[in-house]
Structure 1
């Protein structure tokens, strides 16, 4: 098997494919599958809207699996299955809907986290602030976001392209921080296959704000050839929220295949990640994606 090429964006060396899969497999063998439900200490998991990709705004009708037209439908469904809360997009909310979802959340005694688009240019800041205000009125105190959107290795094809993205992302984060601190709402940037862990950690150190942190996705950074524990060590000090998942890998002629799998059946050390997140943030939420 040939070695992976070094990351074109910096000089940080990557594992070989053979070494990466070997280490990941050792993590899988070390898992104690029956333990995973207990690691949450009876804390109810939340649900990320992306868990229902086919039912969210679904055009087809199903008596067994009806579609969700909005966050209110999703909240009601997740309450019915015993979830503790949801994480859902806030774009397009009106004042009337905000009041409706706030009252529903309070009545069901569930938590509500938002998902918001990161402004790419300063003209988008006004709409961003409107969404932050409505989210706060609904009872949301944490808004998850992503910096780039698409996967880094699909959207950026040169060091220059990455540096341009990095510069703009840092600039816009500085602009949004003032809005967040003004309204006292936290923004949690996900490791969304765009930032590598050390880059996102540097971003957190640079902004140095109590209102800007991280949504730690348990498995995303594997696609950037990072071991989950490495990602955890660098990002846990900044974690506001999470995307809980388990992952599996297997060899493939052009690299490796990566897939989400049922909790406890993959290579993620769930217990270690959950406990470490709790150590750094006792009020952390765990959202199943």
Structure 2
């Protein structure tokens, strides 16, 4: 398994100018061009303004200059023509740059992304039903291959944005959207919901992990497997508690009787880098803290407080941490 640091300067680094996806590169070039042209236009306007003020001062003490009105008319016409050309060029280049966001072909890897308050549900789909599986908050993709993201909003409007890979795309309830990303460099790229979606909007992050095709295939094969039955006595007790408490009514753990669909699929939760949509690294301690009091950690989320004894809490956290 390839282990790489988060691309950029740190664990929370994300920037539309630190780009590694083909679509994001096109958008960055467009941004730089627009800023450069607008800067030149601004400087020319300032020069023209200063020149006009200077000439107006001299004109007060002299007779009107012959042909001045004609030259001013031509200057205005030239400015209008230049404005039309610049805006038209920006429009065409914006269209070309954003086309890469929706390019699709039959060979693309397809991932269905569902935006919920406040986490990301993911389903890897394909022509073979046996190859489908679900996960949450962490998208693995192969390097050098187009990945088609089918975006769906299930409660309110969300917006999918991984600045280093592509532009933003909204997830609107009842209106499926698509976004294509392609990464040429292995790495871990942070994304964020970019549309205010409620109390915990700021805590709705995700990771995109780009890795070589071989490593991606190994990861996908492991994710398709059902949960391995626990061999540790404490983890086995945690499974029994998980199935007898309300946990199993909200979450799925494939290979067990737990088949809830309200919360994230937890079949391989122990293999994910973070929990609670990027709030904590996945450790037994963070799992226990989240289970013990999710409303204090992330107020307003849909996970209820499940009463557990200290022994039950330790057992359930041990079980979830074992789900690699």
Normalised TM-score (structure 2): 0.21
**Bigger RCO (CA 8 Å, 6+ sep):** 1
Structure with higher helix content:
1
Pair member with larger Rg: 2
